[in-house]
Amino acid sequence: MAVLYEKLQKLLTSYEDLPKDIITKKKLNESFFLIRGKDGTRRAWHFILVPNHKRVYLKAHSEGSTINVTDFGSFIKYRNNRDEIKFMSGYGVEPPKIKQNWIQTYYSDGAVDESIDLTYTNDDIRLCTIQRTIPQQKIGVCYHYFVPQQFHYIKLAEASSPSLARRAGLKSFDRIIFLNGVNIENATSADILFRFDTARHLPVQILVCSPATYEHYKTNQKQFRLDLPSIQHVKPVFATSTSDFDTDAPSVSIDNESFYAVRWENSNIVSTVSQSVVFKSPQYTHLNDICCIETAGQYKNGQIILKGSRHDCEKLKTPYFASKIGNVFGTFSKFFIRKTPNGSDVTNAQSDTIQTDLTIQHTHDNNTSRHHANALQHIQDRTCTTLEELPIELFYYIFTFIDIQHLYKAFGELNSRLNHILQSYKNFSLIFDNKVDPLLMNLYAPYVARLIIRTSIHCDFKQFSNLHELVLCIENSQQFAQIQPNVIPNLTRLSFLLGSAFTLPQELTWDIFSNQFPSLRHVSFGCINVSLRDSWTTSPSLQFVSILSCKPMCIPAILTVCPNLQHFQVNILYNDHNDLITSSSPLNHPLRRLTLWSDYAELTFDVIENILTYTLNIESFYLQTIYSTSLIDLAHSLVRRLHYLSRFDCYITENVTKNDRFNNLTDLHQIHPCFHRVQSIEENDKFRVLATK
């Protein structure tokens, strides 16, 4: 018993002496050093901090020599669990492993290297913007967290790799201050990775500074802001291929005759811009993409809502509609103000008004002038006197350009007819974020059809009785608990924009695949829990399913419970080559479109063949993977198996040496017309990348 008590006492004493807090703070130009020697006759060790310029002198001392530690640096001190301040020193040959690990964690040298100049001369703060071609494209950076001083920094890929990050102006050991407009200085590493993963469809905008600038700001208690005049706004860069590495001199074909209609971020304003000012390769720019765009010497994010000629895009331009509506409203206001005693005076007043309004128009735009004249003539013919007499269709069209909160602030309770029009329109969209007014939301909540959640603030779904589409951008268990048939009975679209690591709650997964939401047509997941897949019943309403993380063995289960599925997108997690599909699922599913991709692992011929066994009716097939055999064999197999196939798209890294692969793509093109668009976009002696254009 005494021996046991003695061991317990030693353990308690050892725990109480463990480091709890840092006392000696490490400077950027210092490194920790372990000195072993003797204190009198006893072996001893000391951890000290040494300025980088003195390390060479310290190392020059031979074994057995006598030194004064304070000539080279300072002893590291810490606070233990008894709140005592101790030296990081002790007796013995080696320090305890737990103390070595603590030193490595809190005194790591990883935040700078020898090439970094720590002398501050002026601000080196850069706002760098990167536009990918595809969401899963790597930009060439690794994120790190420096524990002792609690800041985030980056390291670039190898110096020889022309990554997007390097082209954008990012440098190794840059301190990260803002990520996509959000200050992340106090964020955890998990928060940064989450933000980065859930915003892959957006341009990457990072505000960084040099180590010297960061040290200067913190030492002088200065704050970083996005409006600092010393910020260098580096010209955005964009990828010219879907490869993870990009050339230093992008070569793209710019067509100055092509234009985009763009809806600006955080605004309902629509503008027409030339293709040449959009920082994204035209061949990879699609409708609804959010891109970085140069306008008036600044860089702004905007969503592509139309691609075409200038004339086509001008039809959606906000000033075009605003000028029409504004002139009509202006004419109304003039009619309201003018009080004339007889009909002749009214005619003259109307003629004056028409002349005044038409002279405001661009003289070269005869069509615009004619439209305005017709609108005004229609008003005159009807002797319109009030705003209420505008047709309902025009109000509905106006509503599509104005945020729902602004609509209710502008028109709510204005008069009975406008109230009726607002209440009869059932397709409002609401972005629920920190700016939402909860009192005002009670008025328009019953008319919201599309709800986007961008905050962890609690939102009561029951107040949205007309809700048909729900998009969640923030992981919140309280929000998930409300996704129930009795709360959202008319749900048709459900999306979780939370990244591939997010796993849907098991109960919600069961509800979705067991027809608990009978109107649900479209779902997008991260990762799903399939442990209860044998208990799923059926969900005949589902027509579109997208999963960012899935194993091949789960695919038949999903196809079985979704008999009317038309489009299936799935990112395959394939770690075990023996994980092939074995299921009694039907072998003739009516699926028409299939998208398979794997970011890091190979989808082998057997796995692809196995999946296609259940989807013989697909007409459109997209495949993205690493492939270690010839694609031409897979092409023959697809044609033999998929009799209705009419479109094939791909991004395949063919890991076959130049001597072992077929070099003439004409052989592939001749197999079937759907392979005509497959081209080699990158290749060397060890691999090549095949993609459709």
| 48 pLDDT higher than 70 | yes
Q: What is the mean pLDDT of the chain?
A: 78
What are 154-169's pLDDT values in tens digits?
Answer: 888 765 557 888 888 9
Burial of 280 (0-12, 13-18, 19+ CB in 10 A): buried
Task: Sort strands 298-308 and 259-264 into parallel, antiparallel or unpaired.
Answer: antiparallel
**Band of pLDDT at residue 328, cut at 50, 70 and 90:** very low
Q: Per-residue confidence at 32, pLDDT binned at 50, 70, 90?
A: confident
Average pLDDT over residues 275-298: 84
**What is the band of 329 on the pLDDT scale with cuts at 50, 70, 90?**
very low
pLDDT at 344 > cutoff 70: no
- Count how many residues are written for the chain: 693
Amino acid at 57: Y
| Residues 307-335, mean pLDDT to the nearest whole number | 57
**Which pLDDT score is estimated for 439?**
65
DSSP E strands in 202-251: the ranges are 204-209, 231-233, 237-238
Tell me what pLDDT residue 670 has: 92
Q: What is the pTM of this model?
A: 0.47
Q: State the average pLDDT over residues 322-327.
A: 43
pLDDT digits (tens, 9 = 90+) for 445-503: 888 888 999 888 888 999 998 899 999 998 888 889 999 999 999 999 999 988 888 88
Confidence of residue 142 (pLDDT cuts 50, 70, 90): confident
Q: Any idea which of 219-233, 244-258, 544-558, 657-671 has the lowest mean pLDDT? A: 244-258
DSSP class per residue in 667-679: HHHTT-GGGTTEE
pLDDT of residue 113: 64
What does the pLDDT look like over 348-392, one tens digit per residue?
333 333 232 322 333 334 444 444 445 444 444 444 446 667 778
Write the DSSP assignment of 325-380 as a string of letters. HHHHHHHHHHHHH---SSHHHHHHHHHHHHHHHHHHS-TT-HHHHHHHHHHHHHHH
Query: Does the pLDDT value for residue 2 go beyond 60?
Result: no
Q: Residue 320: is its pLDDT beyond 60? A: no
643: Cβ contacts below 8 Å, ≥ 6 apart? 616
What span, in angstroms and rounded, lies between the C-alpha atoms of 17 and 84? 8
